[in-house]
Amino acid sequence: MSAETTLPDYSLPEEQVPMFFPEVLAESDVAALKEEIAGLLKARNAVLVAHYYVDGHVQDLAEETGGCVSDSLEMARFGRDHDAPTLVVAGVRFMGESAKILSPDKQVVMPTLAAECSLDLGCPPDEFEAFCKANPDRTVVVYANTSAKVKALSDWVVTSSVALPIVESLDAKGEKILWAPDKHLGRYIQHQTGADMLLWSGACVVHEEFKSKALFDLKAVYPDAGVLVHPESPAAVIDIADAVGSTSQILAAARDLPHEMFIVATDRGLFHKLRQRNPDKRFIEAPTAGDGATCRSCAHCPWMAMNELSKVAEVLRDESAMRDKEIRIDPDIAKRAMVPLQRMLDFPR
């Protein structure tokens, strides 16, 4: 059974999506910046934790310096379990906030605090609180792509890698769910589990742009290609997929499925790892709106793109920059947000 929301559309308007053109560096500059950052990480006793969508050089550097590259769930775990007192989180703000909530005694800095997420921006805490109050009989499940304030209002936090089994288990206990903020992921989970889910109406500006008709056309050109889709994409795109899943699950599918070529519907930052790990396979981007060449149609998150090598170096160079770009969360909100976040981490996998 499902319930339809009467909420307004919380997709981010085009004008609120920044245009961002990542820096283009000569190989020698890349090498020099990487060497400098590696030295600074050591000097500051810091570790670099990067998401799969950020610049490939930053991903490589994280691995080369003993940090990690992963999805948001593993980023949170890694940051919590690492003994470095300072975490440099290359991703978007909610990832820095999750790291801080789980490691309140650590300093968590980001290359830029301007790295937002359309899902987070499309779920204002006050309006979300009113939605929760209007539906008190529902278990509140929020996607990790939300602010600490929204997490503090929830019963469960989930990432795309664990959303399905967690909702399944809640449904098995007869719980009705209030889901936020991604409507496409919510609908996908609702469809898979049959759970009673009331959906917020946010969307990811990157994944919402994948187009099913153009994907069908591309499949006709490459009939042997497998299709890998992130569940933040529209239902009609998900319907064409050979595998649907989080970034980690897409990487696993690319490794395990027999296809030699894949069409991939997720942020193109993931192609760095897909190609590194599968040098004999070919990966092509699923089509987006394309022709207009707006920031929405480039299959790359403008906020993730802000995590450039030069910004990682900048934040580590002097202590005042580190203080300026430090994640700070009201301790009471952090304490409340920790409860649903911890529930997710404790969920048996």
Residues forming the site for ligand SF4 (CB under 6 A): 92, 117-119, 145, 204-206, 232, 267, 301, 303-304
Task: Establish how many alpha carbons lie within 13 A of residue 41's alpha carbon, considering only the half-sphere containing its beta carbon.
Answer: 24
Query: Nearer to ligand SF4 by C-beta: 204 or 250?
Result: 204
Least distance (Å) from ligand SF4 to the CB of residue 106?
22
Least distance (Å) from ligand SF4 to the CB of residue 89?
13
Least distance (Å) from ligand SF4 to the CB of residue 192?
19
Least distance (Å) from ligand SF4 to the CB of residue 300?
8
Query: Nearer to ligand SF4 by C-beta: 116 or 171?
Result: 116
Query: Nearer to ligand SF4 by C-beta: 145 or 193?
Result: 145
Query: Nearer to ligand SF4 by C-beta: 200 or 303?
Result: 303
Query: Nearer to ligand SF4 by C-beta: 177 or 205?
Result: 205
- The CA-based angle 118-247-32, given to 5 degrees, is 85
Least distance (Å) from ligand SF4 to the CB of residue 311?
16
Query: Nearer to ligand SF4 by C-beta: 193 or 307?
Result: 307
Least distance (Å) from ligand SF4 to the CB of residue 117?
3
